[in-house]
Amino acid sequence: MEYRQLGNTGLKVSVIGMGCEGLSEDNYNMAQKMFDAAERLGINYFDLYASDPRLRQAVGRALRGRRDRFMIQSHICSVWKNGQYTRTRNLAETKAGFEEMMTLLDTDYLDVGMIHYCDAMGDWESIVDNGILDYARELKKQGRIRHIGLSSHNPLVAERAVTEGGIEVLMFSVNPCYDLQPATEDCEEMWADRNYQKQLTNMDPDRQRLYEVCQRMGVGITVMKVYAGGELLGSNQIAGVSLTPNQCISYALSRPAVSAVLPGAHSVEELEQSAAYCEAGPEEKDYAAALASFPRVSWVGHCMYCTHCEPCPKFIDIASVTKFLHLAQARSRVTGHPEQCADDGDCQIPETVREHYAALEHHAGECIKCGACEGRCPFGVAVRENMEQAVKVFGY
Ligand code: SF4
Ligand code: SF4
């Protein structure tokens, strides 16, 4: 298993986590088996959004005696009402739901308390206005949640929440198909067939910017819908091409700020299949050719951080240099222009980005402009221009 820092939280999480929605509601034996398997596979992080008390209790029982071996990302505002799951923005319901959840999970803290499922600007405002964000902050002060998170499918709402709301962990839907689609308050739109029948060009800029803003701010992203609910696998093919689980996971883990993916597991075998990613070779993880063959999608000129352009005769890690260049240039749409980008001649690149760039063994300044990389890039990226830009931005 590989592990990554979860943004600035100080938590070190397995890159493969577990979504608990596939556990049967009232089956303690299944939960026990899944957590046994997770422990064996080195998985130390899981998400629990479901509010069914039987499921929460089964998870709580399965965690007995090993609470400290797992980090829990569980959702506040996801409550059980009239015998069914309900998302609430009512403060009293949220508080009662949190207390019940802690009792059922038999724990006195959550590692990440997620404000559940916010896809609309008006909904974010009600989270603030109804006192839910303040309540999450209070829980953090009390140590009952260690970090405040938020789950969303909408890049504009998510960016606003991380830049205005002090959100430390973002659970976001990341996969190559949703990344093509513009922000919407109706997440059904992201898998509507008609949206993949038209010609699409490159990643949606709001999504790209969200990942970069999160990376710059030290907000860790945990990924839901890494397989687009299964639509990217097998014969479903929402964009006309199918990918393998390893390709989907590799794509998500290559986006800036992403720390872990959380595929929902319905069986030990599914969990093992996801964890097998860490044993897979580079060819199995390579998503570039599959993406380049999407019939109605042009990625032209857009670096997908796939590393296909390597090897470089000067040993430059082209994908990393390009990623750091983009991070240096990223700016927040919501907060305006908190940090000047290089183009404005008054560059304030976050220290972490400078440090990561400095830590590379070879830098853009070593590029001899041979062009070999551009011949190998499936996405027509002007690598030489990017190397020139990186020299301007970082100085070497
Ligand atoms: S320049 Fe092209 S080949 Fe290289 S990492 Fe970017 S997209 Fe991949
Ligand atoms: S053009 Fe520069 S970055 Fe690309 S392969 Fe040649 S030396 Fe490496």
Residue 256 token pair: 């800036």
Last residue of a domain, one of 227, 259, 281: 281
Measured in degrees and rounded to the nearest 5, phi and psi for residue 199 equal -70, 130
In a domain, 174, yes or no: yes
Q: Provide the β-strand partners of residue 224.
A: 173
Query: Same structural domain for residues 355 and 257?
Result: no
- The answer to whether residues 17 and 72 touch, using CB atoms and an 8 Å cutoff, is no
In a domain, 119, yes or no: yes
In a domain, 306, yes or no: no
293 C-alpha to ligand 2 centroid (Å): 25
CATH at 137: 3.20.20.100
Residue among 180, 174, 210, 162 at smallest CA distance from 327: 210
In a domain, 294, yes or no: no
Query: Same structural domain for residues 143 and 229?
Result: yes
Query: Same structural domain for residues 50 and 132?
Result: yes
In a domain, 308, yes or no: no
- Domain membership of residue 190 as a residue range: 3-281
In a domain, 105, yes or no: yes
Query: Same structural domain for residues 274 and 322?
Result: no
- The answer to whether residues 328 and 394 touch, using CB atoms and an 8 Å cutoff, is yes
| pLDDT at site 149 | 97
Query: Same structural domain for residues 143 and 263?
Result: yes
Query: Same structural domain for residues 217 and 335?
Result: no
Residue 216 token pair: 């710059």
How many independent structural domains does the chain possess?
2
141 C-alpha to ligand 1 centroid (Å): 44
In a domain, 297, yes or no: no
The model scores a pTM over 0.75: yes
Q: Using CA atoms, how far apart are residues 187 and 143, in angstroms rounded to an integer?
A: 33
- Cβ atoms within 10 A of the Cβ of 232, count? 27
* Strand 200-201, strand 3-5: pairing: unpaired
SS (H, E, C) the chain: CCEEECCCCCCEEECECEEHHHCCCCCHHHHHHHHHHHHHHCCCEEEECCCCHHHHHHHHHHCCCCHHHCEEEEEECEEEECCEEEECCCHHHHHHHHHHHHHHHCCCCEEEEEECCCCCHHHHHHHHHCCHHHHHHHHHHCCCEEEEEEEECCHHHHHHHHHHHCCCEEEEECCCCHHHCCCCCCHHHHHCCHHHHCCEECCCHHHHHHHHHHHHHCCEEEEECCCHHHCCCCCCCCCCCCCCHHHHHHHHHCCCCEEEECCECCCHHHHHHHHHHHHCCHHHHCCHHHHHCCCCEECCCCCCCCCCCCCCCCCCCHHHHHHHHHHHHCCCCCCCCCCCCHHHCCCCCCHHHHHHHHHCCCCHHHCCCCCHHHHHCCCCCCHHHHHHHHHHHHCC
Residue with tokens 């508080």: 95
Determine if ligand 1 sits within 6 Å of the CB of residue 303. yes
- Cβ atoms within 10 A of the Cβ of 68, count? 8
Last residue of a domain, one of 281, 309, 328: 281
Determine if ligand 1 sits within 6 Å of the CB of residue 325. no
Atom 7 of ligand 1 has which residue's CA nearest to it? 303
Nearest ligand, CA of residue 387?
Answer: 2
In a domain, 299, yes or no: no
Q: Using CA atoms, how far apart are residues 305 and 241, in angstroms rounded to an integer?
A: 20
Query: Same structural domain for residues 340 and 234?
Result: no
Query: Same structural domain for residues 28 and 168?
Result: yes
Q: Using CA atoms, how far apart are residues 270 and 230, in angstroms rounded to an integer?
A: 12
Last residue of a domain, one of 281, 296, 329: 281
Atom 2 of ligand 2 has which residue's CA nearest to it? 367
Q: Please, what is the Cα angle at 26 between 20 and 32, to 5 degrees? A: 60
Query: Same structural domain for residues 124 and 78?
Result: yes
Query: Same structural domain for residues 23 and 139?
Result: yes
Nearest ligand, CA of residue 308?
Answer: 1
Query: Same structural domain for residues 266 and 340?
Result: no
Ligand 2 first shell, C-beta below 6 A: 312-314, 316, 318, 367-373, 383-384, 387
- Cβ atoms within 10 A of the Cβ of 251, count? 27
Q: Please, what is the Cα angle at 95 between 91 and 97, to 5 degrees? A: 115
Query: Same structural domain for residues 272 and 381?
Result: no
Amino acid at 201: T
Q: Residue 396 class from Cβ within 10 Å (0-12 exposed, 13-18 middle, 19+ buried)?
A: exposed
Mean pLDDT by 10 residues, the chain (396 residues): 96 95 78 94 94 91 94 94 92 96 96 95 96 97 97 95 94 89 76 72 86 93 89 70 90 95 90 94 88 78 87 95 88 50 54 91 96 91 95 93
Residue with tokens 């220290």: 351
Q: Provide the β-strand partners of residue 19.
A: 47, 264
| pLDDT at site 28 | 81
Report the residue among 320, 325, 369, 376 best suited for mutation to probe ligand 2: largest number of ligand atoms under 8 A from its CB.
369
